[in-house]
Structure 1
């Protein structure tokens, strides 16, 4: 397994969507490491300050272009590079509101656009704004949570139009970014990751039919995703993997 970070200086990490679920578990796992210098953790809202001085919590609406631009300016002023960026932002349903479509008649334009904004555009726009911190020759990874249901080749059940299509769009956008990024940092690696069905608020309404042993705790998923990230380097950039390291067809 390759090292997660270069050894020349303490690592600077950013986790988008790090206030709960898988994102929070990833932050907590990373804070157990001694080679972490600082973790920027993004969320819409924070209810309490961070307990570890290395964790810098930022309130950010990643769907707002001006806020995203301001985030980029702030980070460029505070650090010289990012060693790891993990995007955990995602939208599958709204509490007491819109849900994944079961049939074509359920499709609504506003829900399609909202899903594409959060699930596809946000990770790419993060890459755009933070590209100056990803350039260079340092070992650097950009990982984003996708989903197996975003695989066109693996789609056998149908339904979930907006979420499936938005995750498929994210896969294409970030694979395209990976090709450009390779020219700007030959040691960069962009990965699309399927975390499996995890016991979080995102999956809560859909857990009833999950097979026994296939509903994972966030801490387990965070550990496995970090192993997958560490196990892949520049030659694997732009590829799509499950939590167990197995490749997923596009």
Structure 2
């Protein structure tokens, strides 16, 4: 994505597969004056934990020193952790796990928006994008299961739609969107890759570049919508 030499780009989740690929691609492209990469595993000014709003606020304060961000990408997600994986049936529902996946997949990105959207330009093109997943589409749900992940990504889509409406009152050229990267060869998808059709497992670099191209091609009227890696709108 082309940027401005007077603006910055921000990647949340830069230690992950896709997030790291976003960060590397934007640094190599060199069109932003600065590229900020934040992650829970990083220390100092680059530390950001989606479960800790104080760390999100601190990261935003660091970015606020300038130049202002015209691109923010939240490249985070929680599908499994330790022995806990996505639920296959109603009997597998666990309130603590449901709360955690919503905290990471929906509430965390919304808090990032709370602290970072006010730093973005009040005029001219800007983009705030959060990674969602096709299985977060209620319309597209044909198989059921994976209750927490599906519900949390659906919640993310709704939150970003709300924020898009609010942000366009502040800047009518601002974009707030959710994006589906496809199935990418990362730690998140690794336990489930055996079931991926041939040719449908993408490497992180390809996924990041495709999504940057999608963001580049979006228009202000696309704000609040949900797109896949080919730029095709996914129904909520």
TM-score, normalisation: structure 1: 0.90
- Where does structure 1 differ by over 3 angstroms across 4 or more consecutive aligned residues? none
What do the CA deviations read for 1:122-169 (whole angstroms, capped 9, x no partner)? 111111112321241031100110000000000000000000000000
Aligned to 2:157: 171
Query: For residues 28 and 6 of structure 2, what CA distance do their matches in structure 1 show?
Result: 13
Cα displacement (A) at 1:233: 2.2
Cα displacement (A) at 1:189: 0.5
Aligned to 2:59: 71
Aligned to 2:13: 17
Query: For residues 195 and 100 of structure 2, what CA distance do their matches in structure 1 show?
Result: 27
Give the SS at the match of 1:144.
strand
What do the CA deviations read for 1:201-245 (whole angstroms, capped 9, x no partner)? 000000111000000011110110011000102111011000011
> Is 1:59 matched with 2:55?
no
CA RMSD of aligned residues (A): 1.6
Aligned to 1:81: 68
TM-score, normalisation: structure 2: 0.95
Report if aligned partners of 1:135, 1:184 keep a CA contact under 8 Å in 2. no
Q: Which residue, 49, 63, 79 being the options, matches 1:92?
A: 79
Give unpaired runs (5+ residues) of structure 1: 48-55
**Residue correspondences, number:** 236
Aligned to 1:51: none
Which structure has the highest helix share of the two? 2
Give the SS at the match of 2:184.
coil
What do the CA deviations read for 1:49-100 (whole angstroms, capped 9, x no partner)? xxxxxxx960221211222222223322x115211000011100003x2100
Aligned to 2:32: 36
